[in-house]
Amino acid sequence: MALELEDKVRSIAKDLGFDECRFSVARKATHANQFQAWLDDGQNGDMKWMERSPERRKDPRLLLEEARTVIVLAINYYPSRSDPRSKDKLGRFAKYAWGEDYHLVVDKKLKAFASALEELGGEQRFYVDYGPILERDFATDSGLGWNGKSTVQIHPRLGTWFFLAELVTTLNLASDDPIPNRCGKCTQCIDCCPTQAITSPHHLDARRCISYFTIEHQGSIPQEFREAIGDRIFGCDDCLEVCPWNRFAKASTEVKFSAREYIDMPLKEFLALSEENFHSLFGRSPVKRIGRDRFLRNVCIALGNTGNMCDIPCLKRTIAKENQLIREHAKWAIEQIKSRS
């Protein structure tokens, strides 16, 4: 029997290594108004790029006029090894940044996907993270998991550890039904957040989030949040780690997401990285995007929170040779260490 169009598309997704593929109608996003209210309140902070053409972000038909379907994809990135942070003075990287940059990995798969769909008569636009599309809204509508109280999309089998990606297509594919939200009475993600960034269920104020401060925020990190950042030097996984739905999570089969050597490097060593060394260490990692200055800024905060008197000489060397942004954070780190000693 000939395969239905939907089955053909799902089989392409599987062959390309996606863990889930579901379909939603290409229409205005269900929570478009909440997104606008979030922007109007300035909760995007420094992420000014989110204010550009918000209408397009809310409706995929403004990305592709004849769009009929949003194909929503999930890819597991759960690393096969445990977190080394319990060892002496290592800074913590969010798990999504342990391996190769997912934008590079997934983009390649999406290109191949789009070409395969062209052969089936479709025209496509595809996105992973960077695109002007409310990815989690379409995931919820298509039943690709449900929206957790942390705002992270939860999948009954993958837990929290997956990336989303979409192809907006002119192909008319029968949409899938949403699945029930299974958070129940749990509030662990809200309760554990070190900076109270989840202000109510499904609502995150990015201006309070450690992931935002360590990745997106451009300048000096506000004093009131520095201690709460702890040893996190790139992103934050706290509201993901506590989610009980991660009990079913299995390691990703995508070798490009396996952990790189930098997750085992002691904090102090990062301070010695030249611009060139930074680029060779993080060349194909998501960390590269924030650049050396902001990365060293984060390292200083983590050293201030976890370091001891032995770390002071290298922080002093940092003050002597680095720019104002790094210097200011290194000075803060020294004060923190001294106040603890």
Task: Annotate 105-122 with b (16+ C-beta within 10 A) or e (fewer).
Answer: bbbebbeebbebbeeeeb
In the bound state, the residue with its beta carbon closest to ligand SF4 is: 148
What residues numbered 223-252 form the site for ligand B12, per CB under 6 A? Answer: 235-237, 239-240
336 is written with which tokens? 């923190």
- Told to check if 26 binds ligand SF4 by CB under 6 A, we report no
- Told to check if 306 binds ligand SF4 by CB under 6 A, we report no
The site string for ligand SF4 over 149-188 (x = CB under 6 A, - otherwise) reads xx---x----------------------------x--xxx
Q: Looking at the chain, list the stretches that DSSP marks H as alpha helix, in order from N- to C-terminal side.
A: 5-15, 32-40, 54-58, 102-119, 135-142, 188-192, 210-211, 223-229, 238-241, 267-271, 275-282, 291-306, 312-321, 324-340
Residue 195 touches which member of ligand SF4, ligand B12, none, C-beta under 5-8 Å by kind: ligand SF4
The single residue of 107, 129, 176, 293 carrying the catalytic annotation is 129
Residues in Cβ contact with 143 at an 8 Å cutoff, skipping those fewer than 6 apart: 22, 176, 177, 178, 179
Among 8, 28, 34, 179, binds ligand B12 (CB under 6 A): 34
Judged by CB under 6 A, the number of residues near ligand SF4 is 25
252 is written with which tokens? 């990703």
Residue 187 touches which member of ligand B12, ligand SF4, none, C-beta under 5-8 Å by kind: ligand SF4
Q: Is 129 a catalytic residue?
A: yes
* Residue nearer to ligand SF4 on the CB measure, 113 or 212: 212
What is the rounded radius of gyration, in angstroms, for the C-alpha atoms of the chain? 21
- Told to check if 229 binds ligand SF4 by CB under 6 A, we report no
Instruction: Find how far residue 328's CA is from the centre of its chain.
Output: 27
Dihedral sign, Cα of residue 233, residue 235, residue 239, residue 244: negative
Which residues of this chain interact with ligand B12, rule CB under 6 A? Answer: 29, 31, 34-35, 38, 47, 94, 96, 128-129, 131, 133-137, 140, 147, 150-153, 160, 162-164, 202, 204, 206, 209, 211-212, 215-216, 235-237, 239-240
